Structure 1
Protein backbone atom coordinates (compact mmCIF):
# COMPACT_ATOMS: atom_id res chain seq x y z
CA UNK A 1 0.00 0.00 0.00
CA UNK A 2 1.34 3.40 -0.97
CA UNK A 3 1.18 6.01 1.76
CA UNK A 4 0.97 9.59 0.62
CA UNK A 5 2.01 12.16 3.17
CA UNK A 6 -0.02 15.34 3.18
CA UNK A 7 1.97 18.46 2.50
CA UNK A 8 2.69 20.33 5.70
CA UNK A 9 2.66 24.10 5.51
CA UNK A 10 5.80 26.11 6.14
CA UNK A 11 5.47 27.50 9.62
CA UNK A 12 7.33 30.14 11.57
CA UNK A 13 7.33 30.20 15.36
CA UNK A 14 7.66 33.70 16.85
CA UNK A 15 8.13 34.43 20.54
CA UNK A 16 5.17 36.13 22.19
CA UNK A 17 5.39 39.13 24.50
CA UNK A 18 3.57 39.87 27.77
CA UNK A 19 1.29 42.36 26.00
CA UNK A 20 0.09 39.53 23.71
CA UNK A 21 -1.88 37.92 26.54
CA UNK A 22 -5.32 39.08 25.36
CA UNK A 23 -4.76 37.94 21.77
CA UNK A 24 -3.43 34.58 22.97
CA UNK A 25 -6.29 33.92 25.37
CA UNK A 26 -8.81 34.79 22.63
CA UNK A 27 -7.06 32.33 20.32
CA UNK A 28 -7.11 29.67 23.06
CA UNK A 29 -10.83 30.12 23.69
CA UNK A 30 -11.61 29.99 19.97
CA UNK A 31 -9.56 26.82 19.49
CA UNK A 32 -10.86 24.90 22.49
CA UNK A 33 -14.49 26.03 22.48
CA UNK A 34 -15.94 23.15 20.42
CA UNK A 35 -14.24 20.41 22.47
CA UNK A 36 -15.32 21.92 25.78
CA UNK A 37 -18.88 22.64 24.63
CA UNK A 38 -19.19 19.02 23.50
CA UNK A 39 -18.54 17.84 27.07
CA UNK A 40 -20.42 20.65 28.79
CA UNK A 41 -17.31 22.29 30.27
CA UNK A 42 -16.94 25.49 28.23
CA UNK A 43 -16.37 28.47 30.49
CA UNK A 44 -14.47 31.38 28.92
CA UNK A 45 -13.84 33.01 32.31
CA UNK A 46 -12.24 29.84 33.66
CA UNK A 47 -10.27 29.39 30.42
CA UNK A 48 -8.85 32.91 30.83
CA UNK A 49 -7.99 32.38 34.51
CA UNK A 50 -6.27 29.05 33.88
CA UNK A 51 -4.22 30.51 31.05
CA UNK A 52 -3.26 33.58 33.12
CA UNK A 53 -2.02 31.35 35.99
CA UNK A 54 0.62 29.68 33.85
CA UNK A 55 1.29 32.36 31.23
CA UNK A 56 4.97 32.77 30.43
CA UNK A 57 5.66 34.90 27.36
CA UNK A 58 9.23 33.60 26.84
CA UNK A 59 7.88 30.02 26.57
CA UNK A 60 5.04 31.02 24.23
CA UNK A 61 5.39 31.17 20.46
CA UNK A 62 2.91 32.23 17.85
CA UNK A 63 2.45 29.87 14.92
CA UNK A 64 2.51 31.74 11.62
CA UNK A 65 1.60 30.37 8.21
CA UNK A 66 2.00 32.63 5.17
CA UNK A 67 2.29 35.64 7.48
CA UNK A 68 -0.91 34.87 9.40
CA UNK A 69 -1.05 33.94 13.07
CA UNK A 70 -2.97 30.67 13.15
CA UNK A 71 -2.24 29.48 16.67
CA UNK A 72 0.35 29.24 19.39
CA UNK A 73 2.46 26.71 21.22
CA UNK A 74 3.89 26.77 24.75
CA UNK A 75 6.79 24.52 25.68
CA UNK A 76 8.24 24.75 29.19
CA UNK A 77 11.41 23.20 30.57
CA UNK A 78 10.95 21.31 33.83
CA UNK A 79 13.45 19.36 35.92
CA UNK A 80 12.24 16.06 34.41
CA UNK A 81 11.98 17.16 30.77
CA UNK A 82 9.88 19.39 28.58
CA UNK A 83 6.13 19.89 28.81
CA UNK A 84 4.01 20.85 25.83
CA UNK A 85 1.77 23.08 27.92
CA UNK A 86 -0.43 24.38 25.08
CA UNK A 87 -0.87 23.78 21.37
CA UNK A 88 -3.81 25.62 19.88
CA UNK A 89 -4.64 25.99 16.21
CA UNK A 90 -7.51 28.23 15.11
CA UNK A 91 -10.43 26.14 13.80
CA UNK A 92 -10.11 27.47 10.24
CA UNK A 93 -6.46 26.35 10.14
CA UNK A 94 -7.02 22.89 11.61
CA UNK A 95 -6.71 19.78 9.46
CA UNK A 96 -4.04 21.35 7.24
CA UNK A 97 -0.94 19.85 8.85
CA UNK A 98 -0.10 22.89 10.98
CA UNK A 99 -0.12 20.99 14.27
CA UNK A 100 2.02 18.21 12.82
CA UNK A 101 4.54 20.75 11.51
CA UNK A 102 4.69 22.41 14.93
CA UNK A 103 5.19 19.07 16.67
CA UNK A 104 8.02 18.24 14.28
CA UNK A 105 9.82 21.42 15.40
CA UNK A 106 9.09 20.77 19.08
CA UNK A 107 10.33 17.17 18.70
CA UNK A 108 13.57 18.46 17.16
CA UNK A 109 14.05 20.75 20.17
CA UNK A 110 13.33 17.91 22.61
CA UNK A 111 15.66 15.55 20.76
CA UNK A 112 18.45 18.15 20.69
CA UNK A 113 18.11 18.46 24.48
CA UNK A 114 17.82 14.65 24.87
CA UNK A 115 14.61 15.35 26.76
CA UNK A 116 11.30 13.61 27.18
CA UNK A 117 8.23 15.59 26.18
CA UNK A 118 4.99 15.47 28.18
CA UNK A 119 1.51 16.70 27.30
CA UNK A 120 -1.99 16.57 28.77
CA UNK A 121 -5.26 16.54 26.84
CA UNK A 122 -8.94 16.76 27.77
CA UNK A 123 -10.23 13.18 27.70
CA UNK A 124 -12.96 13.83 25.14
CA UNK A 125 -10.78 16.00 22.90
CA UNK A 126 -9.77 15.01 19.38
CA UNK A 127 -6.24 15.96 20.42
CA UNK A 128 -5.85 12.55 22.10
CA UNK A 129 -5.79 10.81 18.71
CA UNK A 130 -3.45 13.51 17.39
CA UNK A 131 -0.89 12.94 20.16
CA UNK A 132 -1.08 9.15 19.90
CA UNK A 133 -0.59 9.39 16.13
CA UNK A 134 2.55 11.40 16.73
CA UNK A 135 4.20 8.88 19.04
CA UNK A 136 3.08 9.95 22.49
CA UNK A 137 2.28 7.15 24.95
CA UNK A 138 -0.55 7.35 27.48
CA UNK A 139 0.93 7.25 30.99
CA UNK A 140 -1.96 8.40 33.18
CA UNK A 141 -5.64 9.15 33.00
CA UNK A 142 -7.09 11.65 35.47
CA UNK A 143 -10.66 12.73 36.10
CA UNK A 144 -10.77 15.11 33.13
CA UNK A 145 -7.44 14.75 31.33
CA UNK A 146 -5.18 12.14 29.79
CA UNK A 147 -1.42 12.53 30.21
CA UNK A 148 1.10 11.44 27.62
CA UNK A 149 4.85 11.21 27.26
CA UNK A 150 7.11 11.03 24.23
CA UNK A 151 10.37 9.43 25.31
CA UNK A 152 13.57 11.06 24.14
CA UNK A 153 15.06 9.38 21.09
Structure 2
Protein backbone atom coordinates (compact mmCIF):
# COMPACT_ATOMS: atom_id res chain seq x y z
CA UNK A 1 0.00 0.00 0.00
CA UNK A 2 1.19 3.52 -0.70
CA UNK A 3 0.02 7.01 0.28
CA UNK A 4 -3.18 6.55 -1.75
CA UNK A 5 -4.34 3.78 0.59
CA UNK A 6 -4.70 1.40 -2.35
CA UNK A 7 -3.02 -1.99 -2.27
CA UNK A 8 -2.77 -4.53 -5.08
CA UNK A 9 -2.74 -8.02 -3.61
CA UNK A 10 -2.28 -11.42 -5.21
CA UNK A 11 -5.32 -13.35 -6.38
CA UNK A 12 -5.64 -17.11 -6.08
CA UNK A 13 -7.43 -19.83 -8.03
CA UNK A 14 -10.22 -19.98 -5.43
CA UNK A 15 -10.96 -16.24 -5.89
CA UNK A 16 -12.46 -16.86 -9.34
CA UNK A 17 -16.14 -16.83 -8.35
CA UNK A 18 -15.75 -13.64 -6.29
CA UNK A 19 -14.02 -11.97 -9.25
CA UNK A 20 -16.75 -13.12 -11.65
CA UNK A 21 -19.40 -11.56 -9.40
CA UNK A 22 -17.49 -8.28 -9.28
CA UNK A 23 -17.01 -8.28 -13.07
CA UNK A 24 -20.72 -8.84 -13.63
CA UNK A 25 -21.66 -6.06 -11.19
CA UNK A 26 -19.23 -3.64 -12.84
CA UNK A 27 -20.31 -4.44 -16.42
CA UNK A 28 -24.05 -4.92 -15.93
CA UNK A 29 -25.15 -1.41 -16.98
CA UNK A 30 -22.86 -1.23 -20.01
CA UNK A 31 -23.90 -4.67 -21.24
CA UNK A 32 -27.59 -3.91 -20.69
CA UNK A 33 -27.22 -0.71 -22.74
CA UNK A 34 -26.17 -2.71 -25.80
CA UNK A 35 -28.54 -5.61 -25.14
CA UNK A 36 -25.75 -8.10 -24.30
CA UNK A 37 -26.20 -8.68 -20.58
CA UNK A 38 -25.89 -12.41 -19.97
CA UNK A 39 -24.39 -13.32 -16.58
CA UNK A 40 -23.60 -16.88 -17.70
CA UNK A 41 -21.70 -15.69 -20.79
CA UNK A 42 -19.82 -13.10 -18.69
CA UNK A 43 -18.90 -15.83 -16.21
CA UNK A 44 -17.71 -18.24 -18.91
CA UNK A 45 -15.67 -15.58 -20.72
CA UNK A 46 -13.82 -14.66 -17.55
CA UNK A 47 -13.26 -18.20 -16.29
CA UNK A 48 -12.06 -19.46 -19.68
CA UNK A 49 -8.78 -17.58 -19.34
CA UNK A 50 -8.58 -16.70 -15.64
CA UNK A 51 -4.93 -16.37 -14.69
CA UNK A 52 -4.37 -15.89 -10.94
CA UNK A 53 -0.67 -15.19 -11.59
CA UNK A 54 -1.59 -12.03 -13.53
CA UNK A 55 -4.52 -10.95 -11.33
CA UNK A 56 -4.41 -8.53 -8.41
CA UNK A 57 -7.19 -7.54 -6.04
CA UNK A 58 -7.61 -3.80 -5.63
CA UNK A 59 -7.98 -3.06 -1.93
CA UNK A 60 -8.81 0.23 -0.26
CA UNK A 61 -8.36 0.39 3.50
CA UNK A 62 -8.24 -3.40 3.58
CA UNK A 63 -11.49 -3.86 1.66
CA UNK A 64 -11.56 -5.42 -1.82
CA UNK A 65 -13.11 -2.93 -4.20
CA UNK A 66 -11.98 -4.26 -7.57
CA UNK A 67 -9.42 -6.22 -9.50
CA UNK A 68 -6.96 -5.86 -12.34
CA UNK A 69 -5.44 -8.37 -14.74
CA UNK A 70 -2.25 -7.44 -16.63
CA UNK A 71 -0.68 -10.00 -18.94
CA UNK A 72 2.81 -9.57 -20.33
CA UNK A 73 3.47 -10.24 -23.98
CA UNK A 74 6.52 -10.08 -26.19
CA UNK A 75 5.50 -6.81 -27.89
CA UNK A 76 3.05 -5.24 -25.42
CA UNK A 77 1.45 -5.57 -22.02
CA UNK A 78 -2.25 -6.37 -22.10
CA UNK A 79 -4.54 -4.72 -19.57
CA UNK A 80 -7.03 -7.57 -19.79
CA UNK A 81 -9.39 -6.46 -17.00
CA UNK A 82 -9.77 -3.44 -14.73
CA UNK A 83 -12.95 -3.45 -12.70
CA UNK A 84 -14.00 -1.34 -9.74
CA UNK A 85 -17.18 -2.30 -7.89
CA UNK A 86 -20.00 0.16 -8.73
CA UNK A 87 -20.17 1.27 -5.07
CA UNK A 88 -16.54 2.44 -5.31
CA UNK A 89 -16.55 3.94 -8.81
CA UNK A 90 -16.12 7.65 -9.44
CA UNK A 91 -13.54 8.13 -6.67
CA UNK A 92 -10.39 8.03 -8.79
CA UNK A 93 -9.41 4.49 -7.84
CA UNK A 94 -9.23 3.29 -11.44
CA UNK A 95 -6.96 6.19 -12.38
CA UNK A 96 -4.59 5.40 -9.51
CA UNK A 97 -4.41 1.72 -10.48
CA UNK A 98 -4.00 2.60 -14.16
CA UNK A 99 -1.08 4.93 -13.31
CA UNK A 100 0.66 2.01 -11.61
CA UNK A 101 0.11 -0.21 -14.64
CA UNK A 102 1.45 2.49 -16.95
CA UNK A 103 4.56 2.69 -14.76
CA UNK A 104 5.02 -1.08 -15.14
CA UNK A 105 4.71 -0.76 -18.92
CA UNK A 106 7.18 2.11 -18.95
CA UNK A 107 9.67 0.11 -16.84
CA UNK A 108 9.31 -2.84 -19.23
CA UNK A 109 9.65 -0.54 -22.25
CA UNK A 110 6.43 -1.95 -23.71
CA UNK A 111 3.23 -0.34 -24.96
CA UNK A 112 0.01 -1.06 -23.12
CA UNK A 113 -3.03 -2.51 -24.93
CA UNK A 114 -6.62 -2.60 -23.68
CA UNK A 115 -10.05 -3.44 -25.05
CA UNK A 116 -13.28 -1.78 -23.94
CA UNK A 117 -16.93 -2.59 -24.58
CA UNK A 118 -18.36 -0.12 -27.06
CA UNK A 119 -20.64 2.47 -25.45
CA UNK A 120 -19.07 1.78 -22.05
CA UNK A 121 -17.91 4.66 -19.87
CA UNK A 122 -14.50 2.98 -19.87
CA UNK A 123 -13.87 4.33 -23.39
CA UNK A 124 -13.79 7.91 -22.09
CA UNK A 125 -11.59 6.74 -19.20
CA UNK A 126 -8.93 5.30 -21.52
CA UNK A 127 -9.06 8.28 -23.89
CA UNK A 128 -8.58 10.63 -20.90
CA UNK A 129 -5.43 8.68 -20.04
CA UNK A 130 -3.87 9.19 -23.50
CA UNK A 131 -4.76 5.83 -25.04
CA UNK A 132 -5.32 5.93 -28.79
CA UNK A 133 -8.16 4.08 -30.47
CA UNK A 134 -6.56 1.59 -32.88
CA UNK A 135 -9.41 -0.75 -33.86
CA UNK A 136 -13.15 -1.24 -33.54
CA UNK A 137 -15.22 -4.39 -33.76
CA UNK A 138 -18.91 -5.01 -33.42
CA UNK A 139 -18.94 -4.89 -29.61
CA UNK A 140 -15.45 -3.72 -28.60
CA UNK A 141 -12.96 -0.89 -29.07
CA UNK A 142 -9.23 -1.49 -28.80
CA UNK A 143 -6.73 1.05 -27.52
CA UNK A 144 -2.96 1.41 -27.33
CA UNK A 145 -0.73 3.56 -25.16
CA UNK A 146 2.86 3.71 -26.30
CA UNK A 147 5.74 4.28 -23.89
CA UNK A 148 6.73 7.62 -25.40
CA UNK A 149 3.13 8.89 -24.92
CA UNK A 150 3.03 7.95 -21.25
CA UNK A 151 3.24 10.77 -18.77
**For this structure pair, what is the TM-score category when the shorter chain's length is used for normalisation?**
over 0.9
Residue 90 of structure 2 corresponds to residue 95 of structure 1: yes
Shift in Å, 1:10: 2.5
TM-score (norm 1): 0.93
1:54 to 49, 54, 57: 49
Matching residue of 1:83: 78
8 A contact 1:9–1:97 mirrored in 2: no
Residue 129 of structure 2 corresponds to residue 134 of structure 1: yes
Deviations 1:98-147, CA, capped at 9 Å, x for gaps: 00000011011000001100000011100000000001000011111000
Residue 52 of structure 2 corresponds to residue 66 of structure 1: no
Q: Aligned-pair RMSD on alpha carbons? A: 1.1
Shift in Å, 1:79: 1.9
2:7 to 6, 12, 28: 12
Count of equivalent residues: 146
Deviations 1:58-108, CA, capped at 9 Å, x for gaps: 100000011110000000011221000000000010000000000011011
SS at match of 1:100: helix
TM-score (norm 2): 0.94
